[in-house]
Amino acid sequence: MVTKAYGAHVADRPLESIDIERRAPGPHDVQIEIAYCGVCHSDLHTVRSEWGGTLYPCVPGHEIVGHVSAVGGEVTKFKVGDTVGVGCMVDSCQHCASCADGEEQYCENGLVGTYNGATPDAPGHTLGGYSQRIVVSDKFVLKITHPEEQLAAAAPLLCAGITTWSPLRHWKAGPGKKVGIVGIGGLGHMGVKLAHALGAHVVAFTTSDSKRADAHALGADEVVVSRNAEEMQAHANSFDFILNTVAASHDLDAFTALLKRDGTMTLVGVPEHAHPSPNVAALIFKRRAIAGSLIGGIAETQEMLDFCAEKGIVSDIEMIRIQQIDEAYDRMQKSDVKYRFVIDNATLAA
């Protein structure tokens, strides 16, 4: 079905309106009319080919919420009219060890990303949520139980939410744990909310003085402006866990020095340029670890969505028209987003 979308044909030009083709739903497919789509920094990295390997035309968007408009004959979990979401993955092999463990994001045969992933559908790579509709295998569709008026603000849970939830759970953030969240953008502000909701003592690290008051409101017990060495020093050797969401290359040593013995800093940001090599002695002498984490599995994403619906947790969003997407990217690049842009997909029809 012809579907209006917004995408880029090359890395250095603005996004523009394009018509794409969505496949007719197969037996296990769910067709979704997209209501809103969050804007992740990964969209910007991909559109502008900051990581290399971008396939054009590129239609980004992997924080998708909307309503089911058709289902294939074998689909039992969803029906027309259901409120649903799609995150960063639309397929995986379903038979490797990681898939068997419900960790489809680590699929040993390669997950299929919601955009820029391999697909037999035209044009040969997946096209994401900056579009009017999407057709997705039912295994990769999530149920959204937030009230309809929170739907736009729930969209960022599909990437920013799960990407922070998964490591917070894996490294056991909770009561009695001191947890740092570095970079208060789309991911980081969700990290603060979720770590707080899980009962941890939360310290937000920001480079933006203007976010100090907000970070407390998001649920941080303490806020540190990371450019201020004295403020940093006051937290030396004290953290159980630090989640680093920064989207740019920076000095990791300033944060590993804040971990206590056996503490871990997990990186989720994927900057265009590599971080300077960390100080190995600072790791060795306190058995500290630097780790990484990729989004989260489908069952875990549903668990996070249900947790957030129950606790009334959503993102703090600024709604935009699709025509404002390049301006939104430029502001995101300057850390000027409080705290997630969400596209009103109805504006694709304009």
Residues in contact with ligand NAP by CB under 6 A are: 40-42, 45, 159, 163, 183-188, 206-208, 211, 245-248, 250, 268-271, 293-295, 332, 335, 337
Give the pair of three-digit tokens for residue 124: 């040969």
From the CB of 148, what's the least distance to ligand NAP, in Å? Answer: 25
From the CB of 75, what's the least distance to Zn ion, in Å? Answer: 26
Decide whether 89 or 136 has the Cβ nearer to ligand NAP. Answer: 89
According to CB under 5 A, which residues from 201 to 260 bind Zn ion?
Answer: none
Decide whether 75 or 218 has the Cβ nearer to ligand NAP. Answer: 218
Q: Does 114 sit near Zn ion (CB under 5 A)?
A: no
Q: Does 159 sit near Zn ion (CB under 5 A)?
A: yes
According to CB under 5 A, which residues from 29 to 58 bind Zn ion?
Answer: 40, 42
From the CB of 257, what's the least distance to Zn ion, in Å? Answer: 29
Q: Are 192 and 168 in contact (CB under 8 A)?
A: no
Strand partners, 75: none
Q: Does 65 sit near Zn ion (CB under 5 A)?
A: no
Residue 46 site contact among ligand NAP, Zn ion, none (CB < 5 to 8 Å, cut-off depends on kind): none
From the CB of 211, what's the least distance to ligand NAP, in Å? Answer: 5
Site size for Zn ion (CB under 5 A): 3
Decide whether 46 or 256 has the Cβ nearer to Zn ion. Answer: 46
Handedness of CA 50, 55, 59, 65 (dihedral sign): negative
Residue 295 site contact among Zn ion, ligand NAP, none (CB < 5 to 8 Å, cut-off depends on kind): ligand NAP
> Coil, strand or helix: which one is 162?
helix
**How far apart, in Å, do the first and last CA atoms of the chain sit?**
19
> Coil, strand or helix: which one is 118?
strand
The H or E element spanning position 343 is strand 340-344
Other CB atoms within 10 Å distance of the CB of residue 297: 21
Q: Does 309 sit near Zn ion (CB under 5 A)?
A: no
Residue 270 site contact among Zn ion, ligand NAP, none (CB < 5 to 8 Å, cut-off depends on kind): ligand NAP
Other CB atoms within 10 Å distance of the CB of residue 236: 11
d(CA 307, CA 323): 33
- Residues contacting residue 73 through CB under 8 Å, at least 6 positions apart: 27
Residue nearest to ligand NAP (CB): 185
From the CB of 64, what's the least distance to Zn ion, in Å? Answer: 11
From the CB of 252, what's the least distance to Zn ion, in Å? Answer: 21
Q: Does 162 sit near Zn ion (CB under 5 A)?
A: no
Residue 246 site contact among Zn ion, ligand NAP, none (CB < 5 to 8 Å, cut-off depends on kind): ligand NAP
Decide whether 240 or 300 has the Cβ nearer to Zn ion. Answer: 300
Q: How far from the centroid of its chain's Cα atoms is residue 108's Cα?
A: 21
Residue 196 site contact among ligand NAP, Zn ion, none (CB < 5 to 8 Å, cut-off depends on kind): none
Handedness of CA 87, 337, 170, 193 (dihedral sign): negative
Other CB atoms within 10 Å distance of the CB of residue 109: 12
From the CB of 112, what's the least distance to Zn ion, in Å? Answer: 15
From the CB of 89, what's the least distance to Zn ion, in Å? Answer: 11
- Residue recorded with tokens 């740092």: 180
Decide whether 68 or 268 has the Cβ nearer to ligand NAP. Answer: 268
Residue nearest to Zn ion (CB): 40
d(CA 224, CA 234): 10
The burial class, CB within 10 Å (0-12 / 13-18 / 19+), for 195 is buried
d(CA 349, CA 225): 42
DSSP E strands, 226-339: 239-244, 259-267, 289-292, 317-320
Binding site for Zn ion (CB under 5 A): 40, 42, 159
